Structure 1
Amino acid sequence: METITMSDVALIGIDLGKHSFHLHGQDKIGREVFRRKSSRQQMMRFFGNLPACTVVMEACAGSHFIARELMALGHQAKLISPQFVRPFVKSNKNDFVDAEAICEAASRSSMRFVTPRTEAQQTLSVLHRMRESLVRDRTKTANQMHGFLLEFGVSLPKGLAVMRRLPGVLSERPLPVRLSLLLQRLHAHFDYLDKQIRELDKEVAGQLASDDLGSRLLTIPCIGPITASLLAAEIGDGRQYGCSRDFAASVGLVPRQYSTGGKARLLGISKRGDKRLRQLLVQCARVYLQRLEHQRGALADWVRALRSRRHSNVVACALANKLARIAWSIAANHTQFEAGPDASAA
């Protein structure tokens, strides 16, 4: 019987957990070499003593950090989207079967992998998620104040501006003293959230000032600091995408297909990838459509021609797709957006 040693390990699949990790190792021809369950510290000691090999994990919470740690130890770390691993799970599911399925998926030559993020990219992602959460809380607080006042016959205009000057509005209305005190506490919470959001906006603006890619992405029409910052974190150097369409597809801005029998059938956009980034790109596209009469250049001419024969929602999604492709081109080719010689300064 042939003896297999740890030096024969060529590929390792890891089923990630919070405290325990399940490893499945294979040699170059796909034979199982070992299976083991270990803690985080035991796993890192194991890889520190193991010859360089390829390590594959699902792209999930904590995977980017582990990938960076493994690459620092000399291993090649790869991440796979969980949806591509699921078809390779055999019969009954358990952690070791999942680790084996990860190895099986990684062995496919056509498999698509996720590029591990750097610390800076992950930190920027945390900033954006914090800001998004604060914005939701601020909107919820403002809606609460609107609803409470409406129950006492006070109808205020829409928008956050009136919320910022609420104390002056309350002083002009005959309201119960207890209600006024409660609304003041709620307004203090609103002011706190508003201040936190403004501080995070300043951090994003400061980060863009020192980021070459983010500054170049700001040259795209109707792309603001928040969208440019998130695009810069998502695209990186653009090398993980083969072309601009691949990036647009990763954001979920290309049509889904349900084609069979040689008949092509295109559906709505796939809505894959980063939901927040897709939402921002569509919002930027809608702003561009609102200011279309002020826009010049090839992009504006293309949008006008499309708008003449398609619904505005279809045009917005198509323009968002185009903006994503332009952003990838700027990142991959180290250029900036040029609308043309007759484009307006705005």
Structure 2
Amino acid sequence: MSQQHFAGLDISVKETAICIVDQQGKVVHRASVESDPVVIREHLLDLGLAFGRVGLEAGPLSSWLYAGLVDGGLPAILVETRHMHAALSARINKTDRNDALGIAQMMRAGLFKPVHVKSPASQQRRLLLTSRKLLQRKAYDIENDLRGQVRTFGLKIGVVGAASFDARVRELVDDHSAIAAVVIPLLLAREALRTQLARLHKLLLDTVRVDPICRRLMTAPGVGPVVALTYRACVDNPARFSRSKNVGAHYGLTPRLYQSGEVSRTGRVSRCGDAMMRAALYEAALVLLTSPRGRWNSLKAWGMGVARRRGIQKAVVAVARKLAIVLHRMWRDGTQFRWSAAQTV
């Protein structure tokens, strides 16, 4: 049987440093090639070596490169960024060559934590969600900036909805030509952002409408189209988690634990994992607990009990964690939300 080799790839935008070691940890090859999956794949295959693992760190180009390597029959592994940083931070000199060597040695020793690589469909869903959020945030930035800037001149916009904001600002600056010359272009920019935001939001609603998984997730209280699509995009495959309870911890909704000797402390939630997923679950839990509308359910009753004992902030986080578990179970079992104990029979 031929000896296996282990490759480490340190990726940058233009070039990727490659280091290959044998089973004894001896360096047998080093190179620097263009950061393109075809170039990297052909370079590795042309060496004629039997690879046990090819490791690369999770990053902006990683999914693209990973897919190209796997398509070429290479045993590529995407490694969790924080784990990789902890393993490589002990080195005195940080260079691309040294990082590639460190990754190769991690592959040889098996000291790594693999990352789930999302499907192209989930990556497209995430692109839609992040782009919509970007336009929404920029529109809010313009509105908030306008409120503060015109207030300097004694012009108070007051409480107005998004539809009436433009007309209200134009009314205030109508008699101030110098101010209007600056404010009107901002209003036009806001209008363009709002128009494209509406297009992306409609695309999101159309996507959710034809997705049976999103429609099933929306049967849970507090879960709307945005939260359902976010959960769908972030989890990608429910089989990733052997237990539903692991979902809350994976997305940073469980407390940190510090234990050493006689010291044992429980801290705040870890906030690890995808921040977009964590924010969506928090918003859904907040709506579930505070909205006066909607049916009463066991999840809300449990959350209100936590709120009475520990406060509303901790209750929202606790409900977000439990909601992540419930949604995973609904997805995996193909069931809708159970509003009462009678539905579990």
TM class, shorter-chain normalised?
0.7 to 0.9
The answer on 1:61 being equivalent to 2:60 is yes
Q: Give the TM-score normalised by structure 2.
A: 0.88
| Range that drifts further, 280-289 or 20-29 | 20-29
Correspondence for 2:86? 87
Letter in 1 for 2:81: P
| Residues 52/190 of structure 1: CA separation in 2 closer, same or farther (3 Å cut) | same
Correspondence for 1:205? 205
In the alignment, the residues of structure 2 paired with residue 260 and residue 269 of structure 1 have an alpha-carbon distance, to the nearest angstrom, of 19
In the alignment, the residues of structure 1 paired with residue 44 and residue 65 of structure 2 have an alpha-carbon distance, to the nearest angstrom, of 11
After TM superposition, give the deviation of residue 192 of structure 1 in Å.
1.0
Correspondence for 1:11? 6
SS at match of 2:238: coil
After TM superposition, give the deviation of residue 120 of structure 1 in Å.
2.0
| Range that drifts further, 124-133 or 167-176 | 167-176
Structure 1 residue corresponding to 2:43, chosen from 8, 26, 46: 46
Correspondence for 1:243? 243
What does 1:277-288 correspond to in 2, within 5 Å?
277-288=277-288
Extract unaligned runs of 5+ from structure 1: none
| Range that drifts further, 45-54 or 203-212 | 45-54
Q: Is the 8 A contact 2:10 2:56 kept in 1?
A: yes
What does 1:150-169 correspond to in 2, within 5 Å?
150-161=151-162, 164-167=164-167
The alignment's C-alpha RMSD in Å is 2.6
After TM superposition, give the deviation of residue 111 of structure 1 in Å.
3.7
Query: Structure 1, residues 124-164: CA drift from partner, whole Å, max 9, x if none?
Result: 222222222212211111112212332232212235436x3
Query: Structure 1, residues 269-314: CA drift from partner, whole Å, max 9, x if none?
Result: 1111222221221121111111368443321231122122111101
After TM superposition, give the deviation of residue 67 of structure 1 in Å.
0.7
SS at match of 2:18: strand
The answer on 1:232 being equivalent to 2:232 is yes
Q: Is the 8 A contact 2:14 2:34 kept in 1?
A: yes
Letter in 2 for 1:243: R
Correspondence for 2:19? 24
Correspondence for 2:134? 133
| Range that drifts further, 209-218 or 65-74 | 209-218
Query: Structure 1, residues 309-346: CA drift from partner, whole Å, max 9, x if none?
Result: 11110101111111112222233333332222679xxx
In the alignment, the residues of structure 1 paired with residue 294 and residue 211 of structure 2 have an alpha-carbon distance, to the nearest angstrom, of 28
Extract unaligned runs of 5+ from structure 2: none
| Residues 338/28 of structure 1: CA separation in 2 closer, same or farther (3 Å cut) | farther
Q: Give the TM-score normalised by structure 1.
A: 0.88
Q: Is the 8 A contact 2:254 2:269 kept in 1?
A: yes
| Residues 134/320 of structure 1: CA separation in 2 closer, same or farther (3 Å cut) | same
| Residues 105/124 of structure 1: CA separation in 2 closer, same or farther (3 Å cut) | same
| Residues 262/208 of structure 1: CA separation in 2 closer, same or farther (3 Å cut) | farther
In the alignment, the residues of structure 2 paired with residue 229 and residue 294 of structure 1 have an alpha-carbon distance, to the nearest angstrom, of 21
| Residues 296/107 of structure 1: CA separation in 2 closer, same or farther (3 Å cut) | farther
| Residues 178/27 of structure 1: CA separation in 2 closer, same or farther (3 Å cut) | same
Correspondence for 1:74? 73
SS at match of 2:310: coil
